[in-house]
Amino acid sequence: MSTLRIKDLHVSVETAEGPKEILKGVNLTINSGEIHAIMGPNGSGKSTMAYALAGHPDYEITSGEAWLDDQLITEMSVDERAKAGLFLAMQYPVEVAGVSVSNFLRTAKTAIDGQAPALRTWVKEMKSSMENLRMDPDFAERDVNVGFSGGEKKRLEILQMELLKPSFAVLDETDSGLDVDALRIVSEGVNRVHDETGCGVMLITHYTRILRYIKPSHVHVFVDGRVAAQGGPELADELEEAVEGLLDAFEAEVAQVDEDPEGDAGAHPPDEAEAGRNRADAEPGGAFLVEEADDEADEGGLEGSPCGGESADGDGQQDGRGEGCDGGSGA
Least trusted range by pLDDT, from 207-211, 223-227, 258-262, 300-304: 300-304
Same domain for 11 and 120, yes or no, is yes
pLDDT of residue 244: 65
pLDDT of residue 176: 87
Is 223 within a domain?
yes
Same domain for 257 and 204, yes or no, is no
For the chain, give the mean pLDDT.
81
Instruction: Report the predicted TM-score, pTM, of the whole model to 2 decimal places.
Output: 0.74
d(CA 48, CA 66): 14
Is 318 within a domain?
no
pLDDT digit string (tens) for 102-121? 999 999 999 999 999 998 89
Same domain for 192 and 111, yes or no, is yes
Q: Which of 210, 231, 252 is the last residue of a domain?
A: 231
Above 90 in pLDDT, residue 41?
Answer: no
Q: How confident is the model at residue 261 (pLDDT cuts 50, 70, 90)?
A: low
Same domain for 251 and 213, yes or no, is no
Q: How confident is the model at residue 325 (pLDDT cuts 50, 70, 90)?
A: very low
Same domain for 225 and 266, yes or no, is no
CATH number reported for the structural domain that contains residue 123 in this entry: 3.40.50.300
Q: What mean pLDDT is predicted for residues 127-154? A: 93
pLDDT of residue 246: 64
Same domain for 34 and 150, yes or no, is yes
Total domains, the chain: 2
Sign of CA pseudo-dihedral 312, 315, 319, 323: negative
pLDDT of residue 241: 74
Is 65 within a domain?
yes
Above 90 in pLDDT, residue 28?
Answer: yes
Q: Which domain holds residue 259?
A: 235-299
Same domain for 51 and 181, yes or no, is yes
Above 50 in pLDDT, residue 307?
Answer: no
Is 88 within a domain?
yes
Q: What mean pLDDT is predicted for residues 164-182? A: 92
Q: Which of 196, 231, 266 is the last residue of a domain?
A: 231
Above 60 in pLDDT, residue 298?
Answer: no
**Cα-Cα end-to-end distance for the chain:** 30
Q: Which residues have CB under 8 Å from 209's CB, separation 6+?
A: 175, 183, 302
Looking at per-residue confidence, does 312 or 73 come out higher? 73
Q: What mean pLDDT is predicted for residues 61-69? A: 96
pLDDT of residue 282: 45
Same domain for 31 and 72, yes or no, is yes
Same domain for 226 and 241, yes or no, is no
Same domain for 205 and 73, yes or no, is yes
Same domain for 224 and 241, yes or no, is no
Same domain for 245 and 290, yes or no, is yes
Least trusted range by pLDDT, from 162-171, 209-218, 281-290: 281-290
